[in-house]
Structure 1
Amino acid sequence: MEYVAALAGLAVVHLLAVASPGPSTVLVVQTAAVAGRRAGLLAAFAMMLGAVAWAAAALYGLQILFARFEWLYVAFRIGGALYLLYLAWMLLRHAGAPLPEADPSAGRGGAWQGFLKALLLQLSNPKVMVFMGSIFVSLLPAQMPSWMEATVLAIVAVNEFSWFALLTLLFSGETARAFYRRTKLWLDRFMGGALALLGLKLAFDR
């Protein structure tokens, strides 16, 4: 019963964290609105893979490595910040371009490009692992059976994919695309500015 309560608490806290606005939300929403549902779902899947990788790293001690070799953590953090600034620049640069029509038969390359963008975004932010490690320490017992470790990773995977898939379904519909088409210039500027601020925060926040 203790294990079940711990896992339930983890599921709720992690889902609230996933649902909080951040660079992942911006990227998935923008991908779904611009490239369509398939691209958005692939981006959601990439976010899930990245989060599970960081969760596994937190479970199996990568934080200890980062604590011992601080330069490694700093390198990850600066790399992630630069990638966020690059995404922000691309959004701002193309804010005035018209929204292309979603073409499922011709958009496979673009969809996989969105997958790669999302995966790189998730893997380039070591703060995801630091957060995972903190909630694991707070909510989970120190000595866990192997089935519980597998359940923790499954919870992370389900939460991540479910939330970002929901965002994809909301923002890939024709109504959302029509709204995005009308307001693309200002939305892209807003999202680009938000990514730039998050990138700077990641770079300078210890």
Structure 2
Amino acid sequence: MDYAVALAGLAVVHLLAVASPGPSTVLVIQTAAVSGRRAGLLAAFAMMLGALVWAAAALFGLQVLFARFEWLYLAFRIAGALYLLYLAYMLLRHAGAPLPEADPSAANPSAVLVGAWQGFLKALLLQLSNPKVMVFMGSIFISLLPAQPPSWMDATVLAIVALNEFTWFALLALLFSGGAARAFYRRTKLWLDRLMGGVLGLLGARLLVSEV
């Protein structure tokens, strides 16, 4: 197998998966719109870190452990579902609250920084609480990579995952933290938060009852 072709195929398939709408997309958009550019970029960085953890786990054997101990995978899946339901509840609960000021020049800088790191933590927990990320990565690794890749190829795979994840979510953060997007979010916050909360709730319920 040509290594360059395999890596190019992996990059395309993974990027398409990252760009597909899901709870990560919802959370980064909401974080950027509510808390501003810094928080959105930190959330994007957290998504990248979480994806790297699962990618490394898929490369180095945790998927085998999940297959052997089904209760461990089930525990991760339930934890992920409950966390999604919690995020949905918080969005729905605070849908009617006014949009906080995200401009550091017009707000308490320490409060802005705290909000940004809270967004980072929420995003990291979301990514780490979903073992399906690792299952997906494991499946594309098996399908697209040689059976015994050289060590440099493992490092390249992790670099591709990091680049795809951060680039996509950073673009979302920059787009939805802009003035026009933030003004739109301010006008429609009640209904957008309800919509995003409903989407996260449905995804959490789906993850909770799914068999795989």
RMSD over aligned CA atoms reads: 0.7
Instruction: Output one character per residue of 1:17-49: Cα deviation in whole Å (capped at 9) or x when no partner.
Output: 000000000000000000000000000000000
**Deviation of the 1:103 alpha carbon:** 3.2
Corresponding residue number in structure 2 for 1:33? 33
Which digits, 9 at most, give the CA deviation of each residue in 1:59-87, with x for residues without a partner? 00101100111000000000000000000
- The one-letter code sitting in structure 2 at the alignment partner of 1:138 is S
The equivalent residue for 1:139 is: 144
2:82 corresponds to 1:67: no
Specify every segment of 5 or more residues in structure 2 that has no aligned partner in the other structure, as ranges: none
In the alignment, structure 1 residue 84 sits paired with structure 2 residue 84: yes
The percentage of counterpart residues that share the same residue type is 83
Pairs within 5 Å for 1:75-154: 75-104=75-104, 105-106=109-110, 107-154=112-159
Q: Cα deviations across residues 140-160 of structure 1 (Å, max 9, x unaligned)?
A: 000000000000000000000
| Cα distance in 1, alignment partners of residues 208 and 147 from structure 2 | 32
Q: Distance in 2 between matches of 1:185 and 1:59?
A: 42
**SS of structure 2 residue aligned to 1:144:** coil
SS across alignment from 1:152: helix
- TM-score normalised over the length of structure 1: 0.99
State the AA in 2 paired with 1:180: Y
- Are 1:174 and 2:209 matched, yes or no? no
Q: Secondary structure at the match of 2:95?
A: coil
Offset of 1:205 from its aligned partner? 1.0
The corresponding residue for 1:24 is 24
Q: Which residue of 2 aligns with 1:193?
A: 198
- Displacement of 1:53 after TM fit? 0.4
Distance 2:82 2:137 in 1: 22
Q: Structure 1 segments of 4 or more deviating over 6 A?
A: none
Separation in 1, partners of 2:145, 2:209? 30
**TM-score normalised over the length of structure 2:** 0.96
Structure 2 residue 53 is the aligned partner of structure 1 residue 53: yes
How many residue pairs end up in the alignment? 206
